[in-house]
Amino acid sequence: MAIPDFQTIMLPLLKFANDGKDHTLPEAIDYLAAVFKLTDAEKKELLPSETQTRFDNRIAWARSYMKQAGLLENPIRGVFRITDRGKAVLEKKPTKIDINFLTQFEEFVEFKSRSKKSDNREDATEEIKTPKEYLEEGYQKIRAELMSELLSLIKRCPPDFFERTVIELLIKMGYGGSRKDAGQAIGKTGDGGIDGIIKEDRLGLDVIYIQAKRWESVVGRPEIQKFAGALQGQRAKKGIFITTSNFSKDATDYASNIDCKIILIDGERLSQLMIDYDLGVSKVASYDIKKIDNDYFTEE
């Protein structure tokens, strides 16, 4: 079945804790994964940031919300257990525990009123995703829009600007030694792209052959074959082919099956790397996500 939303997880999680014992989040994750009959792929599905699995995140938020309502508590760091209020709730045999259910508890209402100022959704009872999921997906949407705008600008810039962009990106990624070294290694071909060799490291222990094409059309297998031939002619074993467009499936299949190592960077990947290495973009704002430092509150 699909990964349940965090509100659907609340009741099974509270039932899991109804034995009165102390439990850890990993124990709950294993138990609930079996309850919801999740596949291995569903259990491993990551949030956009790839810092946590989606299922783990939803269990953590279900636990957090019920803790705010006084149904669960944390007696010690990393451990949770059911409270007397939680047991009383289960004795009434509810068919569902969700945000609307939790609003009967004053502590939870106060918690939601504090967080409501930063919640743009009109009806919080309709929440399916956790706050972290909304935050990450909002970030990914902004990033996707930035990538699209960045790539559009690159395509409209003159060829020599594209050359400089590729050089500067590779330097920021740790290749090419100095900008002077990289600039000397690149030779213009006059076809709207650049070709040449660049140091793999600052000492020049190995070199990488580069070809970049500022294209609108899809780069096919013939172009990669020509590039592979150029590598053989230079006795080079490594190459990077950068384009502002995309590669055909035949091109990617060919690149993955030849002896020399050719990395294909399409327009989407190029814009991603420029954002990751702060090339052509500037930071507008940053938001620190913080959690309780339990060590601070632990008595010696």
For the record, the structure tokens of 19 come out as 């034995």
Q: With a cut of 50, say whether residue 65 has pLDDT above it.
A: yes
Domain ranges of the chain: 6-129, 152-276
Q: Which of 88-97, 159-168, 209-218 is predicted most confidently?
A: 88-97
What is the reported pLDDT for 25? 93
What is the reported pLDDT for 176? 72
Three-class secondary structure assignment of the chain:
CCCCCHHHHHHHHHHHHHHCCCECHHHHHHHHHHHCCCCHHHHHCECCCCCCEHHHHHHHHHHHHHHHCCCEECCCCCCEEECHHHHHHHHCCCCCCCHHHHCCCHHHHHHHHHHHCCCCCCCHHHCCCCHHHHHHHHHHHHHHHHHHHHHHHHHHCCHHHHHHHHHHHHHHCCCCCCHHHHHHHEEECCCCEEEEEEECCCCCCCEEEEEEECCCCCECHHHHHHHHHHHHHCCCCEEEEEECCCECHHHHHHHHHCCCEEEEECHHHHHHHHHHCCCCCCCCCCCCCCCCCCCCCCCC
What is the reported pLDDT for 177? 66
Q: Which of 14, 34, 2, 37 is nearest to 96 (CA)?
A: 14
What is the reported pLDDT for 116? 63
Least confident residue range of 191-205, 224-238, 263-277: 191-205
Interval 256-284: pLDDT, tens: 999 889 999 999 999 999 999 999 998 88
Instruction: Classify the C-alpha dihedral 110-112-118-119 as positive or negative.
Output: negative
d(CA 88, CA 68) in angstroms, rounded, equals: 16
In the structure, what pLDDT confidence band is assigned to residue 229 with cuts at 50, 70 and 90?
confident
Q: With a cut of 70, say whether residue 195 has pLDDT above it.
A: no
* Superfamily of structural domain 152-276: RNA polymerase, Rpb5, N-terminal domain (3.40.1340.10)
Strand 261-265 and strand 186-188: the pairing is unpaired
Q: Are 211 and 195 in contact (CB under 8 A)?
A: yes
Interval 71-85: pLDDT, tens: 999 998 889 999 999
In the structure, what pLDDT confidence band is assigned to residue 130 with cuts at 50, 70 and 90?
confident
Top-tier CATH class for 6-129: mainly alpha
What is the reported pLDDT for 124? 47
Q: With a cut of 70, say whether residue 172 has pLDDT above it.
A: yes
Quickly count: other Cβ atoms within 10 Å of residue 270's Cβ.
23
193: phi > 0 → left, psi -120 to 50 → alpha, else beta; which? beta
Q: With a cut of 80, say whether residue 186 has pLDDT above it.
A: no
Q: How far apart are the first and last CA of the chain?
A: 46
Least confident residue range of 60-64, 94-98, 161-165: 161-165
> For the chain, what is the mean pLDDT?
85
Would the CATH topology of 6-129 be identical to that of 152-276?
no
